[in-house]
Structure 1
Amino acid sequence: MADLASGKGHRDENFPVASALIAPAHRAPIMHFYRFARAADDIADHPAAGPEEKLRQLEAMRAGLGGDGRPEAMALAAVMRERGLDDVHAHELLDAFVQDVTVRRYATWEGLIGYCRLSAMPVGRFVLDVHGEDRGLWPANDALCAALQIINHLQDCGKDYRALDRVYVPAETLAATGGRIEDLGGDRATPGLRAAIVQLAERTNGLLRESAPFAARIRDRRLAAEVAIIQRLAERLDAMLMTRDPLAERVHHGKAETAMIALRAVAGHFLGRARG
């Protein structure tokens, strides 16, 4: 099979992945899950590979979870067996990447959230399972993970359209604001597309309000601190999307800004725990 790796690693992501805050005992399985997800994402997003090749390689990823397929999946399967972790999250993630290959448009917000149910929520659920956290945290996790996914989609909406002909801005939202799919190919957003992006950022803000209590409810203090950072970074990026055009302006944090946001988020989180 052709190597479709992008060369992207965990330090290139918008949000922390198994940072130094995470206890070393938990970092290894999370990194195995990340490498599995990264490999599958690279397959689904490769701009030159055809759908048949992508689906063939994703099936090899799934076979690896059973013990005979892609090495990234086999390594993850071994860690899950060793730790007694359910492989449902890995399979759901593969379902999302198959959907990336076979579905290029979303009609409604609900359809987009349904995609996030496969593409984003299982990632956080896996991390919670690794830490032995209560599954009662899943609704808050799901809201945060869906918000992160949609923020990424809005940041990359032009690139996804131009490179992959993939559109995550729901058709109903574009229709309501007077935007068109073709607007995503421009150098800057038209008024209709800009209004659609703002509307989706506002709905994402609703998800972030749902996830706001998440970090404080996590027992593991180190994981809680990382989630507090992710929550704050997401809030800031979502606010940026309400005022900046992702087709024409930078909608990302610089390293220094990320570090400052992280320090403030951790300080605020532990101060809140002390008071609570």
Structure 2
Amino acid sequence: MKGESVKQAERECRRIALSHYENFLVASVLLPRRLKQPFYNVYAFCRTADDLADESATPALALNALSQCQTSLDATFAGNPPAGIFTALANTIEQFRLDKQPFDDLLDAFRQDQQKTRYQTTRELLDYCRRSANPVGRIVLKLAAVDADVADLERSDQICTGLQLANFWQDVARDYAIGRIYLPQSELRTLGVSEERFAEMIQQRSTLPELKTLIQAECDRAQTCFDLGAPLCDHVPKWLGRNLRLFVGGGRATLEAIRAIDFDVIRIRPRVSKGTQACLILRSLIGR
């Protein structure tokens, strides 16, 4: 009976993973067969927690749901997983001796999203990325059995932070629509962009020059993250290096798309063309 419940849980994790983003579908093609299910199990947890944070009707309901998720995670690491995806996750935790801290950090970041919608400094924003993005890279390294030293862990963090930042600067208008501004408030004030002026730009669908200047600087910061993290691709198994190159390439392409519209991210949401996406996927599949 227990074996059947695990199989059911694994099927559910597989369903969750394969019904979401194209990037994960491509990455799953590049995974060794033996690692597909463990990756599905971890991804299903991350996706479920993210949905609880973003799709709950109110912040209070989201916090309550995330609290229940934390309780389930605690029980899973204690050896008493609840039914459902946590049953599958428990097997992966045991098999790969996964640490609990990255999972806790992710849930902490999701809870923060319900309570904090402005970031005063770049340091605050990077600390958020440390918990919202970087844990995923560290979990992946463990699943890949990479004996990462401090330098490689830092490279992984740089890639994950770069991806998070690129996503922020692509979605400035979308994030504002749900009440969030990730651009550091101190930088906005230095450029004379008050909250009221920012709101006017959104209303007029126009990115003023001073805000373009800040977006450009933030894109440069994300680019530096990719530059610092990219050497990790040569320090891991080939299949993982291909995945990392795919995601780093996608992040760089997002930054290029932002530059191509002259950083006018409020008027236009920058997009990576289908041709560029196909090229990135092809290069990953052939190992270049």
Q: Name the TM-score, length of structure 1 as normaliser.
A: 0.85
RMSD: 2.4
CA distance 1:25–1:70, shift in 2 (3 Å): same
Equivalent in 142, 145, 150 of residue 129 of structure 1: 142
User: Could you tell me how far 1:11 is from its partner in structure 2?
Assistant: 6.5
In 1, the alpha carbon distance for the partners of 2:176 and 2:17 equals 23
Equivalent in 28, 41, 59 of residue 50 of structure 2: 41
In 2, the alpha carbon distance for the partners of 1:8 and 1:104 equals 28
User: Could you tell me how far 1:249 is from its partner in structure 2?
Assistant: 2.1
Q: Which amino acid aligns with 2:275?
A: A
| Superposed CA offset, 1:30-88 (max 9, x none) | 22222211111122122x62222111100111112114558444432342124322222
User: Could you tell me how far 1:14 is from its partner in structure 2?
Assistant: 7.3
Contact 1:60–1:69 under 8 Å retained in 2: no
CA distance 1:112–1:221, shift in 2 (3 Å): same
Q: How does 1:3-18 map to 2 (within 5 A)?
A: 12-13=20-21, 15-16=23-24, 18=27
CA distance 1:71–1:100, shift in 2 (3 Å): farther
Contact 1:179–1:196 under 8 Å retained in 2: no
CA distance 1:241–1:55, shift in 2 (3 Å): same
Q: Secondary structure at the match of 2:30?
A: coil
Equivalent in 186, 197, 218 of residue 172 of structure 1: 186
User: Could you tell me how far 1:188 is from its partner in structure 2?
Assistant: 2.7
Contact 1:121–1:146 under 8 Å retained in 2: yes
| Segment drifting more, 237-246 vs 53-62 | 237-246
In 1, the alpha carbon distance for the partners of 2:233 and 2:281 equals 14
In 1, the alpha carbon distance for the partners of 2:83 and 2:195 equals 36
Contact 2:129–2:161 under 8 Å retained in 1: yes
Contact 1:120–1:146 under 8 Å retained in 2: yes
In 1, the alpha carbon distance for the partners of 2:214 and 2:167 equals 15
| Superposed CA offset, 1:196-254 (max 9, x none) | 21111111111111012121111x11111111121112112112223422222242224
In 2, the alpha carbon distance for the partners of 1:262 and 1:255 equals 10
Contact 2:207–2:267 under 8 Å retained in 1: yes
In 2, the alpha carbon distance for the partners of 1:107 and 1:38 equals 28
Contact 1:61–1:73 under 8 Å retained in 2: no
User: Could you tell me how far 1:120 is from its partner in structure 2?
Assistant: 0.4
Q: Does 1:191 align with 2:204?
A: no
CA distance 1:120–1:190, shift in 2 (3 Å): same
Q: How does 1:28-67 map to 2 (within 5 A)?
A: 28-46=37-55, 49-65=57-73, 66-67=75-76
Cross-structure match for 1:3: none
Cross-structure match for 1:230: 247
| Segment drifting more, 82-91 vs 227-236 | 82-91
Contact 1:22–1:222 under 8 Å retained in 2: yes
- Where does structure 1 lack aligned partners over 5 or more consecutive residues? 1-6, 271-276
User: Could you tell me how far 1:265 is from its partner in structure 2?
Assistant: 5.3
In 2, the alpha carbon distance for the partners of 1:150 and 1:8 equals 25
